[in-house]
Structure 1
Amino acid sequence: MLKKICKLAKDAGDAIMKCYYSSKLINISYKIDKSPVTNADKISNEIIKNGLFTILPNVSILSEEDIHYIKYNKNWNLYWLIDPLDGTKEFLKKNGEFTVNISLIKDGIPILGVIYAPFFNILYCAYKNKAWKVDSKGYKKKISVVSSNIPKFLISRSHPNKKIYDLLRKTKQYTIEKLGSSLKFGYIAEGKAQIYPRFGATYIWDTAAGDAIVKAAGGRVITYSNNEEKDLNYFLISEKSLMNPDFLVLS
């Protein structure tokens, strides 16, 4: 099944790239939170949903593009969670840092994750506590996190936050790289970076696939709190359960 999901993510990525390179005007609209959505988001969404229905027709699908039609159900113990185009702002900036995210959630935990970066033709995937990267030449290798005495921090390119610099002041030596979309999870999982702090609004479809991949690679994804560390929660109970708290991704 993981191979089928990887193929599906690539199919969606191919469709996104046709829009990316198209000379035609990209249709842009804006959601309530003022985040952009394009025809590429919608095309990718339909490809993924149709493909998932073919693979597992009895499993519900929750997509970022369909949140207005959600009926929250505590009995959703198994469901697909997708972000058809993560990093729409990066897509519009033409910097290539956008991804297709597909994950399978069971009992509130991401058990399968696929992140595909179509511009770079790089894919990360995980299932059953094993994580892999498929590079642009099609070479697949198992990946794992790597610690460092001088950790590299990944910072969201389009969502800066002052709390991050408060955290940096607590670290003696470090390097920083700005990066868009769920590529940050992939970089942590394969050992290119060690810490990704995210403060501010994110949603469960932004993190689920990356969460599965980082944990399968030996890393952690935890809430950022002075009181206690918790895993992110993917149970669907109410509209509030779509939002993530502040979190850290760690090698």
Structure 2
Amino acid sequence: MSLASDMSYSVPASSPSAAVDRDAIAEIFAQIACEAGVAVMSVYASGCAVRVKPDQSLVCDADEYAEAIILKRLGELLPQFPVLAEEAAAAGKRTVDGDAFILVDPVDGTREFLERNGEFTINIALVVDGAPVAGVVYAPALGRMWVAGRAAASCLVEPGAPPPPPQERRSIHVRRVPGQGLTALASRSHSDPRTEAFLAALPLRERRNVGSSLKFCRLAEGDADVYPRFSQTMEWDTAAGDAVLRAAGGVVIGEDDRPLQYGKAGLQFRNGPFVAWGDPNAVRA
């Protein structure tokens, strides 16, 4: 994968997103994620039954309770945007219309949730013209949130509490690749031979296995450099983390050597392989 010299990560002035207040929408997402976090943590504390969906992925009560809250609140606060959410999609809804829509993963990292390691997130993102332009990744068990509008920031917030105002959050940005070697992040639950081969070819200093969309957030904070993913993901898995990383100066490159695209209805909203980089100048062929 290479980085094309004419690649632009800005939104064209003619785009529908030119009329979208990315920061205001991110604030709404933050509020809703905190509300959903209460339901998620209630199930986390009490335990739940696990079911296997037709695609062999796992679902539990936390996914369904959180999604119901998120969809209700999005309908109240952002009714102008169609929404595609993971559990609704599993039940047969796999279509959104128009150039702007919202993607929801109510509990990203269900395996991490069930293993009780805290590395699961609530993901909400706005996609415009195929790119995630606003998003929130919330890790309720860790009490940490990452918010992306025009810029990226992180903060501490407990489930049910109001998110701190923007001026009280920590601005985050990716780092340049350090001279002593890369820190790579890999999925805790979904490794595969192609990922292992890709990582083996890099000048690595360190490798860490991390669950859920937290990998994008670690890159965005400048805590790591690269995250490859060659096994299947869906758009709702990645959009919010991708929004945070892009807002922090990073990139997510697909197999076509371009930023990962969203709204792939013809592929039932499946992503192809991708590599997320903190420093765009580090993108490798």
Aligned to 1:15: 39
Residues 145 and 156, structure 2, Cα contact 8 Å, conserved in 1: yes
Q: 1:175 to 1:61 in 2, by over 3 A?
A: same
Percent identity among equivalent residues?
A: 37
Structure 1 counterpart of 2:224, one-letter code: A
Report whether the alignment pairs 1:169 with 2:197: no
| CA deviation after TM superposition for structure 1 residue 250, in Å | 0.2
Matches within 5 A, 1:33-48: 33-48=55-70
Partner of 2:243: 212
Q: Which runs of 5+ in 2 are unaligned?
A: 1-23, 159-163, 279-285
Q: Residue type matched to 1:142 in 2?
A: S
Whole-Å Cα distance in 2 between the matches of residues 237 and 246 of structure 1?
A: 17
The secondary structure found in structure 2 opposite 1:174 is strand
Say whether the 8 Å CA contact 1:64–1:84 is kept in structure 2.
Answer: yes
**When the two structures are superposed, what TM-score results if normalisation uses the length of structure 2?**
0.81
From the superposition, tell whether residues 71 and 122 of structure 1 become closer, same or farther in structure 2 (CA, over 3 Å).
closer
Distance 2:127 2:71 in 1: 15
CA distance in 2, matches of 1:184, 1:60: 27
| Deviation of 1:13 (Å) | 1.2
Map residues 131-210 of structure 1 onto 2, 5 A cutoff: 131-135=152-156, 139-147=168-176, 148-149=178-179, 150-210=181-241
Contact 1:76 1:236 in 2 (8 A): no
Of 39, 52, 72, 2:74 maps to 52
The alignment's C-alpha RMSD in Å is 1.6
Alignment match, 1:243: 270
- Structure-2 change in CA distance of 1:120 and 1:71 (3 Å): closer
Alpha carbons 2:120, 2:139 under 8 Å: kept = yes
Change (3 A) 1:56 1:136: closer
Q: In the aligned structure 2, how far is the partner of 1:84 from the partner of 1:247?
A: 22
Aligned counterpart in structure 1 of residue 53 of structure 2, from 31, 43, 47: 31
* Alpha-carbon spacing, 1:71–1:196, altered in 2? closer, same or farther (3 Å): closer
Contact kept in structure 1, 2:86 and 2:104, CA below 8 Å: yes
Which protein has greater RCO, CA pairs closer than 8 Å, 6+ apart?
A: 2
User: Taking structure 1 as reference, are residues 215 and 28 closer, same or farther at Cα in structure 2, changes over 3 Å only?
Assistant: same
Which of 108, 121, 133 is 1:99 aligned to?
Answer: 121
How far is 1:28 from its partner?
1.5
Q: Match of 1:82?
A: 104
Report how many residues are paired. Answer: 243
User: Structure 1 residues 236 and 165 mapped into 2: Cα distance closer, same or farther (>3 Å)?
Assistant: closer
SS of 1:166's partner is: helix
